Amino acid sequence: MDNTSQAVQFPFARKKVRESTFLRFIALGLEESLSPFLDPYGRNLSRNLSLKAAITAAVLLLSAFLFRLFLPESPVDYVLLTLCLLVVAPTACIESIEDLSKKDINIDVLMTVAALGACLIGRGFEGALLLVLFALSGAMEDAVTLKAKKNLTDLEELLPEKATIIDDGVVFERAVSDIRLQDVLLVRHGEMVALDGTVISGTGALTLAHLTGEARPQAVSKGDKVLSGARLIEGSIEIRVECTSSDSTLAKLVKLITVAHERKPVLTRSFERFGRYYAAGIMTAAALVAAFLPFFGVEFLGDSGALIRALSFLITASPCALVLAVPIAYISSLGLFARKGILVKGSHILDALVICQAVAFDKTGTLTYGVLKLCSDVDPENLRAFAAVERGSNHPIAIAIAEEAIKKGLTLPEVSEFISIPGEGVEGKVSLNGNIQTVFIGSVEGALKRISTETDLMKSAEEARQKGFGTACGVIDGKGYLLQFSDTIREGAAASIERLKSLGKEVLILTGDSKENADRVADEIGIDIVEAQLKPEDKLKCIQQLSEQAGLVMVGDGINDAPALARATVGVSMGTMSSATAREASDVILLHDRIDLLDWMFQQAIRTQHVVWQNLILALLVIVLASMSALLGELSLWVAVVLHEGGTVLVGLNGLRLLREKSR
């Protein structure tokens, strides 16, 4: 039996947990409760173990308190209190000893010292309450973080472990990690594409709705590229594998999101550095309070004594809420970005988005689809002739003519004596209306050689180019026709530009395309500033200036855009249309090329920053007010504990609000 791929199922009393395997568990580092090395009872017990232990300790502590309240003469309360401490204290002590051995005096050490100090002075209930609430708070923090990272967990679950292979007519399953380049995958209805490749047989419809939220399926047939992570909702296809499991689109996406969660914003890094000194400082301050307050007339022991004040100060001044305030907001926001089909490569990019006041677009492939569309009104018979001659060509003009013929439902005649003339175009004999006619399509210069009468074709073509249209000329038996083509504007581009302007953003086009083409697109979608015919170094210079002046978001897709994306304050690349180089250089990837989400990105980044500052202010208020009250003897030990842990929970819940999408 192959333990690397055998699936192990484990039932749970109330909730059925996903099937796990040795391969998945080792590769993805899943939580211990999913380990296939454990028996069903062990897996059931280990699931949410920290939360279960904290709840058990809380029940024991509450029971001990009730016995002391109603049966003060009974020793049962001490037994229950001891059991409570046995549940929560060992873990806290072991973790604190490990931290101290590494010379790391942190919040966990502070809480453990405060709790043990309370127990040593006969305040066992307060010490136990602190440990229980700290354990519950820690378990809730883990749950909050897990919920915020749920999109990453879901992506990991999408990674398939096996795929169906076809080899010399034999169909069998193989582990995805063992599949080689050029192997042939069989993907059936309802299955997921395991690896990137090209369709070599069959037809179907793919959807990425489970991954990016985009509901529209994409039809695929022979010759089309398909990406891992897509699900086949119609048909059956065979795919020639073009990458290994570690290089697949879905594997890279999981890796990028993992890195994004691990890359911390400036505030988080600053607090972590500050925390190393803060914890030691608070412990020192608490010791000084206990030592010197008796010299100012405060008794050492007692309900309001120096020792109790020192312990209360130690608890309330601990920065649990402060440490949680920043990361929980960013993690929650990144989770929502991922759910919307936007991959952000780190929390710090959200801060950069807030300061950006300008948005620059490349034109082709970004504001447009990079696909030509026939704009001229062509007689159906002539269109049949042109499409017939261009049949089978991959030239953008040929594809545009063929698409228009298909759209109008035209049948194409046969072509004879077909020739391709380098630098001019293509020519062939076509049967039209019972007559064999010579049909040419290509450049204006090539067409003029075949036109028998005087014409202003060259002048018309030049006027069309000045308006930003691409041109070609067709000739049928000596009569010329001008064909005009335009790049297709991306759906929703104009509305997106309008929303960006309403946010006060300066919007411009930076492109290497001609001035005429760029102006036509700009006029159509409402952009006022256009910089065209830019060489890569010119574009880079513009972006550097804009980034330094006001902060710039650059949106692009091509290899030539990679330097610009890297230099901009925030680089945004298209997920399906952009080159791998552009995706690597960018800070944000629109997984389904939805530029209509750009304004939402800005709003969510601002919203995230607001929540971060709300959390910081709330955490600081709790720390300052509670610690000052503790020093003045206004807080009993148990109130200090409740205030401290309550502030942490409030900060966590406030950060979780960013998981909910705010309506526009």
CB 271 within 8 A of CB 321: no
Q: Which of 133, 10, 608, 60 is nearest to 335 (CA)?
A: 608
DSSP per residue, 430-468 = EEETTEEEEEEEE-HHHHHTT--S---HHHHHHHHHHTT
Q: Is 350 buried (19+), middle (13-18) or exposed (0-12) by CB count in 10 A?
A: buried
CB 494 within 8 A of CB 485: no
CB 364 within 8 A of CB 520: no
What DSSP designation does 264 have? P
DSSP per residue, 581-599 = HHHHH-SEEETT--GGGHH
The amino acid occupying position 77 is: D
CB atoms closer than 10 angstroms to residue 507:
21
The amino acid occupying position 298 is: V
Q: Which residue has the tokens 């206004």?
A: 634
Exactly one of 77, 108, 362, 513 is catalytic; name it.
362
Question: Helix (H, G, I), strand (E, B), or coil: what is residue 184?
Answer: strand
Q: Which of 43, 663, 647, 604 is nearest to 321 (CA)?
A: 647
Whether 362 is a known active-site residue: answer yes
Long-range contacts of 510-516 (CB under 8 A, 24+ apart): 510/360, 510/361, 510/362, 510/534, 510/539, 510/542, 510/543, 510/554, 510/564, 511/362, 511/363, 511/364, 512/536, 512/539, 512/560, 513/363, 513/364, 514/465, 514/468, 516/465, 516/466, 516/467, 516/468
Report the chain's C-alpha Rg in angstroms: 34
- Tell me phi and psi for residue 21, to 5 degrees: -135, 165
Which helix or strand (DSSP H or E) is residue 113 part of? Answer: helix 107-120
Q: Which of 271, 132, 269, 141 is nearest to 620 (CA)?
A: 271
N-terminal to C-terminal alpha carbon distance within the chain: 55
Tell me which residues are annotated as active site.
362
